[in-house]
Structure 1
Amino acid sequence: MRAHNWIDLNQDADTGIETLRAHFEGHAYDPHWHDSYLVGVTEQGVQQFNCRRTRHDSVPGQVFLLEPGEIHDGHAPTVDGFTYRMLYLDPHWLEREICSVFEEAPAHHQLSFARTLANDPRLALATSQAFHSLHHSELRIVRQSALDQLLERLTGQLYWRMRYRDDPRLPRVAHKARDYLHAHLHQDIGMNELALACGVDRFRLSRAFKSAFGLAPHAYLVQLRLTRARRLLAKGEQPAAVAMALGFADQSHLGRWFVRAYGLTPAAYRKRCSNLPDS
């Protein structure tokens, strides 16, 4: 991490919600995704990122909203960098909690954000207040009240989207390759093996996959492993064990990819989420 970049991360014990406040100058992180809903506010500077095939420039006071699996990156286009605060909301927690203030989910639907950037001062305030109460471990009743206010404000940005088993907009071969990667994420998969499983040559597979998901198959596999690594590290698993379990060559190999995606080392992430010492 560059000398002027910093990350302050915490995790709420009751909800499992991660809270992060960070500052980056220049390149922040490579394209990656999370298995959480991300709700954040830009505090200072311009936060530039690509998501949904569009470049976004988030400025102070704007709220950025990302769904699980949405690929995004991060960059500071101005010399003073950018600072932001963000909440990582577990999908199961969000769907359960939102039902008390939002319409009941139709069958086979999932929550989706209507837009990636929102100009909503009340949502920005609710996001900041929820962040502060969780990040600084306020009284439980204060934390819950702040989250309730956030959920009420979020309803203006949410809708129920049909949960596709196979998205008809994407090539079937890309779906088949993605399913194969999920089923074999712990293995050392080669492109020839993946292409054989999908019934096409590897060049056509690579083009279809990148067109569908925005990443080449090898990059998608790395990101898939990183999301699993995040989950295991947050539970207190040791980085070396996580690297071995997920098919990374060693702990340093996991570390290099983890820093590029999230801006901090696996050990630092584990310590801040679990409060467990290194063994």
Structure 2
Amino acid sequence: MSEREWVDYHRMPDRPVEVMHAHFDRHVYHPHAHETYSFGLTEFGAQTFACRGATRTSAAGMVMAFNPDEPHDGHSHDELGFTYWIAHIGSELITDLLSDRAGRPSGLPLFADPVLSAALQRLCLSLTGPATELAADEALAATVAALVQRGTRAVPQRLSTPQGGVTAEIARQVRLVLDDRYLESLSMDDLVEATGSGRFVLYRAFRSAYGLAPSDYQRLLRLRAARRLIAAGRPVGTAAVEAGFADQAHLTRWFRRCYGITPGVYLNAA
């Protein structure tokens, strides 16, 4: 991290909700996706990111919205850097909160909405400041309600719903192999054998369907496994090895590139 960069990370007790408040000027997010719905609020500066086939820039006051398993990256728009909040909300919690409402977040990856921005900031502050559990739950419900009230709609989740056809079937077969064997040291030959298709064909099919290269997706599965182990209290070094990384340094490098924090920060975020 540069001297001007900082991160504050919190996990909500007994709820699948995590919040990060950070300032970055040199950090560049590697393409990745979250298991959660993720909503970012730019506070200062501007962040440029690629999502759904287009490059967008979030200026101060704008909201970024990512569905579960939606690939994206991110970096500062200029040398001044950017400060932002981002809240990760488990999909099961979103479903529960929307049980009596029409709609589902989120239809657009970037938009300006003062009501939603205020609700999102209230949620983030409730997890990072002196708020009661009831107040945090209320802020969470208000944020989801604000999303629904602006008329957002869910978009296809690129890591879970590829279009039909031969190409999609090849991509699906590759994903099944990676889901089942992500801890193994797989080669392209292993994927060729499992799918019966050529190297270039399966790579192109997977990238087209899911927005990530097979190796990026395998690493993403390992990162998610490491997050679960760390959240359960496993030492970072142990979690790294059990999740398929060479060592703690290897996990730390990729954890920061994809999530903006180190595994140690995540361990202490509860």
- TM above 0.5: yes
The 1:157–1:258 alpha-carbon spacing in structure 2 relative to 1, beyond 3 Å, is: farther
Amino acid at match of 1:64: M
Note if 1:218 corresponds to 2:215. Answer: yes
Of the three residues 133, 136, 146, the one matched with 2:129 is: 136
Q: Which whole-Å CA distance do the structure 1 matches of 2:41 and 2:162 have between them?
A: 33
Match of 1:97 in 2: 97
Q: 5 Å matches for 1:42-191?
A: 42-100=42-100, 102-103=101-102, 111-155=104-148, 156-159=150-153, 167-168=163-164, 171-191=168-188
Question: For this pair of structures, how many residues does the alignment match?
Answer: 266
Aligned-residue offset at 1:265: 1.7
Match of 1:271 in 2: 268
The 1:87–1:137 alpha-carbon spacing in structure 2 relative to 1, beyond 3 Å, is: farther
Cα RMSD of the aligned pairs, angstroms, is 2.0
The 1:256–1:162 alpha-carbon spacing in structure 2 relative to 1, beyond 3 Å, is: closer
Note if 1:198 corresponds to 2:195. Answer: yes
- Residues 12 and 135 in structure 1, CA contact (< 8 A), matched pair in contact too: no
Note if 1:255 corresponds to 2:252. Answer: yes
Name the TM-score, length of structure 2 as normaliser: 0.91
Q: Which whole-Å CA distance do the structure 2 matches of 1:165 and 1:123 have between them?
A: 28
Q: Which whole-Å CA distance do the structure 1 matches of 2:79 and 2:201 have between them?
A: 41
Partner of 2:223, secondary structure, is helix
- Residues 26 and 77 in structure 1, CA contact (< 8 A), matched pair in contact too: no
The 1:7–1:221 alpha-carbon spacing in structure 2 relative to 1, beyond 3 Å, is: same
More moved, 162-171 vs 238-247: 162-171
Q: Which whole-Å CA distance do the structure 1 matches of 2:242 and 2:175 have between them?
A: 20
Q: Which whole-Å CA distance do the structure 2 matches of 1:54 and 1:229 have between them?
A: 30
More moved, 53-62 vs 132-141: 132-141
Partner of 1:83, secondary structure, is strand
More moved, 89-98 vs 231-240: 231-240
Give % identity: 34
The 1:165–1:260 alpha-carbon spacing in structure 2 relative to 1, beyond 3 Å, is: closer
Aligned-residue offset at 1:112: 4.6
- Residues 33 and 227 in structure 1, CA contact (< 8 A), matched pair in contact too: no
The 1:30–1:165 alpha-carbon spacing in structure 2 relative to 1, beyond 3 Å, is: closer
Aligned-residue offset at 1:203: 2.3
The 1:158–1:31 alpha-carbon spacing in structure 2 relative to 1, beyond 3 Å, is: same
Q: Which whole-Å CA distance do the structure 1 matches of 2:54 and 2:34 have between them?
A: 18
Q: Which whole-Å CA distance do the structure 2 matches of 1:157 and 1:78 have between them?
A: 32
